[in-house]
Chains A and B, each alone.
Chain A
């Protein structure tokens, strides 16, 4: 068996999620290749070559691949697909964008967001916002899979794979990239952060949300939010943790003013330690929290910052 892992990157840096996908590939077992499809992305390929367990990195470079357009990246993957039994993407915005295009063109089912590998054709995945876990088996000749990164510990560095250039696929020409607004932040990336501090509707306003900054600074945490807080405009869209937002599993998850709707719990309940601060003692978040503090967050958060 040979497995193709599609690297997640921005042409400059390899994203941490790729390490988790390689770990999932290692569980399946077989020769693991990583595809870096981008433009001027040689440094990314060099980094991917260092992931333990990877035997070869394929580098496809073209202006058409610079911005991760789904149509073009899918063509690139399809050009290489015949050599592989499994094609793995990270279940991130970009992986989820491209992967089903590849599966449909190969006329195979996609197995979305696997959280564990039982065998080369059988996987576990969460359904119904994590309220149930389905064990699914695929009889298709090629398994096209997206990997929920929180289900697999990142593969370590220490490999020395070869990097090979492959012919880039031609641009499909159906869509063009116009622009990107990426929030600049010194904080760790939400999806891979070791500590996450999230705020909910209880924060009350975007202004109040800022009281979480010193706490996040102190803990070296990424900031997150519940859907209610995002919908209310207290926090940006890409901070949303939950069933339809980001799935996180940090060492420490601090939920401030979050009641704990099942859709939110789906996104964070695999965190190692969960702390909840909420003034409502009956809030469902306390049902999953290791440490719950019933208190007014506007006094508890500053106090926490000074005590840590």
Chain B
């Protein structure tokens, strides 16, 4: 069976972003970009399913600017067989991405789509659930374990207070949480091989999807800063501060 894995190009996990002085957004010029960490976990999971013989082909999809090709090449270096770039310079919001993915899912007919639970730029946590709803498929979000059976997927999810296990009829959507797996390091030979893999480019117009943003960002500002307090000399001084100054104990 085919597995489709959407991947997003985001500001690298280790970069502390700066808000632009005109409040129009965050400054991402000359900032290191990487694959969204949760999507890396998704590609890794699909690759493990293929290595176990449960999946036959992995298709990576990225939606966005031309440079998303690099993100797709990374996915192919981990283990995706081919890539599809939906290229546009328009700011893409989760609903638009879900609609683009829906068209590609209908065309490619995967039995499983594995997505990251959220992207670390807009922190929206929506695309997987939206795609499931648009396709009328079942979903298991925040997965920490995925097992495939005959026409079903058994997924353990991280929920408030513990874990929960669901059985989904395939085709289905799974979104990844941090503990699902630890993505492998990509090796140089695999990076070289990835360069030769097939990468097709389409546009939202080709797919017949209107990607006009629905939410308007009026401004982006710095969060209210929290200033450092004081260092105390010892435990006794700390307890004194908590009792008599902060009055929280």
Contacts and interface: CB of A to CB of B under 8 A. Distances in A.
Contacts of A246: 160
Contacts of B131: 104
B17 A132 contact: yes
Contacts of A140: 214
Which of A129, A179, A237, A286 has the most chain B CB atoms inside 10 A of its CB?
A237
A104 B134 CA distance: 7
Interface stretch (B64-72, B187-195, B196-204, B234-242): B234-242
A243 interface: yes
B138 A175 contact: yes
A139 B239 CA distance: 51
Nearest to B216: A137
Interface in B9-37: 11, 13, 16-17, 19, 26
Given A136-B218, A174-B138, A293 B129 contact: no
Which of A113, A133, A172 has the most chain B CB atoms inside 10 A of its CB?
A133
B166 A289 contact: no
| Prevailing SS type, chain A contact patch | mixed
| Prevailing SS type, chain B contact patch | mixed
20 contacts: A74-B133, A97-B129, A100-B94, A104-B131, A113-B125, A127-B26, A136-B216, A137-B215, A139-B214, A140-B214, A175-B139, A175-B140, A181-B163, A182-B163, A230-B179, A252-B248, A273-B246, A275-B238, A286-B228, A290-B229
Interface string B145-168: 000000000100111111111111
Interface stretch (A50-58, A154-162, A299-307): A299-307
Interface stretch (A19-27, A88-96, A198-206): A88-96
Interface of B: 11, 13, 16-17, 19, 26, 38, 93-95, 98, 117-118, 120-134, 137-142, 144, 154, 157-169, 172, 177-179, 214-223, 226, 228-232, 234-236, 238-239, 241-242, 246, 248-249
A81 interface: no
Contacts of A92: 160
Which of A69, A134, A173 has the most chain B CB atoms inside 10 A of its CB?
A134
A109 B167 CA distance: 28
Given A70-B129, A112-B125, A182 B26 contact: no
B93 A109 contact: yes
B123 A243 contact: yes
Contact of A178 (B126, B166, B231): B166
Which of A94, A96, A111, A274 has the most chain B CB atoms inside 10 A of its CB?
A96
Contacts of B158: 93, 237-238
A298 interface: no
A70 B214 contact: no
